[in-house]
Amino acid sequence: MLFSTAAFAIFMAIVFTVYWLMPHKYRWIVILTANAWFYISYDVRYLAVILITMVASFLCAILIDREREENKKKTIMITGVITALSLLFVFKYLNFALYTVSKVLNRISIPVHETTLKLIMPVGISFYTFMAVGYLVDVYRGKTEPVRHFGKYAIFVSFFPNVSSGPIERAGHFIPQIDKEKLFDYDSVVYGARLLMLGMIKKIVIADMMVKYVDEVFNKVPEHHGICFAWATILYTFEIYCDFSGYSDMAIGVARMLGFELTGNFRQPYLASSIKEFWGRWHISLSTWFRDYVYIPLGGNRCKKARRDLNLLITFLLSGLWHGASWTFVLWGGIHGVAQVIENRIKEAIKLDREKEKNLPGPVKLMLTILTFCIVSYAWMFFRANSISEAFYIVRSMFTDLDLQGAMTQMTMSDKSVIKTSAAILLLLVFDHFNGKGDLLLKMNKMKAPVRWVIYIASAILVIALKTHNTEIQEFIYFKF
């Protein structure tokens, strides 16, 4: 059930009404029921996998809390983590592992038939698995008390706004909100509805407009050449941003309408002036998860520079692998890891600390922002490519033909399409720039009511018109991960 469908609108209207009419002590039942209905709307078979993850992590957390011997506590924690990650491995990575092993064996003259298992990957498994793993580690570290009410723990793992594609919540932030009595707050609900509409505009108006041109190139790589690859990569850079940040806006908005606060996931990432800053602005819940549960346990930056660089590379390679069972994702993560290692070394060589970086002259900061954007966009090309061989074909031929008009023809883009996509990108960047200086959705409260309603109605008409025009349903990109 996609957020951008009529089915979800009906579902949300029912959940919203019943939830706020229900006495506080029964609201957890409404949310849990909604979670189950939302999740099985994709495929009832997915339910078994998420239930195993819930039960295993729930019981292990309680056992960790009861155990007094440190080694046994650690063993229980590791058991729970392995259980959750094993399910993720089987459904997401097993076929990739079998394929890779068979390729390696065939290369060394050991004939092996390629084996592929017919497995369905449950929606959101990468997200709720990391939430369960983070919960177990936090309970083991003493940062979070174990939840002793299974129904409320199940709400945390399966909360319908973020179960499909995040944000990746922490138990210490989310679970206390379940028991906290909430009063209906009109302003908060309206703000949530604005976020929901903003997310729909990003997804339906911008991302879904760009996807057909991006797919035309990346799904038919051998049929294209030259600078059309560069333009398709730039379009994908904004497609994936609007698609994923649009989903996050919708998720946070829907949660806000029910009185829940989810972790912010994006802060104008393409305005970052360094790779490190980009990762402080892009998919924040994932980048902080890898920081807290991978990078810091590896030693973080509390060790020699060479080891710190290795820790960064490992973290980014794993982050790439998290996104998908393909070497293109691993390479994408590797590009970001290498870029950040080089970036750190340059800053150390010229003694550029955080304070000096903040006070860089405007033109210098602009140049660094453009450079960062180019590196990030280049990496997205590997992320989107269907295979390593196609990615390197794109690299070799990207600038062999600089005929822009010919490129547009290859991509089946008219002059009107070029203007529309360029205008969408420009408006998005302008919105992000001013939104970074102060929440524009919150500032709408200062507008007169007629002006606000004109914006609401115009936005709704735009979304509905484009949704009706584009009859093909476009899933959110991060559903695949």
Does the pLDDT of residue 202 top 90, yes or no? yes
Mean per-residue pLDDT, 116-129: 88
Q: Give the CA count within 13 Å in the CB-facing half-sphere of 254.
A: 27
pLDDT tens digits along 41-51:
988 988 999 99
In a domain, 95, yes or no: yes
Of 138, 153, 184, which residue is a domain's last?
184
Note whether 168 and 51 are same-domain residues.
yes
Report if pTM > 0.85: yes
Of 359, 391, 422, which residue is a domain's last?
359
What is the spatial distance between Cα 253 and Cα 237, in angstroms, rounded to a whole number? 24
In a domain, 420, yes or no: yes
pLDDT at 473: 66
Note whether 223 and 180 are same-domain residues.
no
In a domain, 372, yes or no: no
Q: What is the dihedral of CA 408, 411, 413, 418, to 10 degrees?
A: -60
Note whether 206 and 343 are same-domain residues.
no
Note whether 152 and 244 are same-domain residues.
no
pLDDT band for position 231 (cuts 50, 70, 90): very high
**How many angstroms from the chain centroid is the CA of residue 215?**
20
The verdict on whether 283 is a catalytic residue reads no
Catalytic residue among 323, 336, 433, 469, which?
A: 323
Note whether 104 and 14 are same-domain residues.
yes
Average pLDDT along the chain: 92
In a domain, 129, yes or no: yes
Note whether 264 and 216 are same-domain residues.
yes
Tally of structural domains, the chain:
3
Note whether 214 and 300 are same-domain residues.
no
Rounded to the nearest 5 degrees, what angle is found at the Cα of 208, between the Cα atoms of 204 and 213? 160
Mean per-residue pLDDT, 18-40: 96
**What is the span of the domain harbouring residue 95?**
6-184
Q: Give the CA distances from residue 432 to residues 49, 196, 197, 239, in Å, rounded to whole numbers and listed in that order.
A: 38, 17, 16, 15
Mean per-residue pLDDT, 48-68: 96
Note whether 18 and 95 are same-domain residues.
yes
Specify the 3-state DSSP secondary structure of 117: coil
Which comes out higher in pLDDT, residue 98 or 279? 279
Specify the 3-state DSSP secondary structure of 237: helix
**How many angstroms from the chain centroid is the CA of residue 7?**
23
Note whether 21 and 90 are same-domain residues.
yes
Mean per-residue pLDDT, 417-445: 92
Note whether 176 and 298 are same-domain residues.
no
Render the burial of 259-284: b for 16+ CB within 10 Å, e for the rest.
bbebbebbbbbbbbbbbbbbbebbbb
What is the spatial distance between Cα 358 and Cα 31, in angstroms, rounded to a whole number? 44
Instruction: Record the tokens describing residue 56, joined without a space.
Output: 């295993």
In a domain, 371, yes or no: no
Note whether 44 and 161 are same-domain residues.
yes
The residue among 320, 263, 288, 270 whose CA lies nearest residue 430 is 270
Of 184, 210, 234, which residue is a domain's last?
184
pLDDT tens digits along 301-343:
888 999 999 999 999 999 999 999 899 999 999 999 999 999 9
Note whether 117 and 225 are same-domain residues.
no
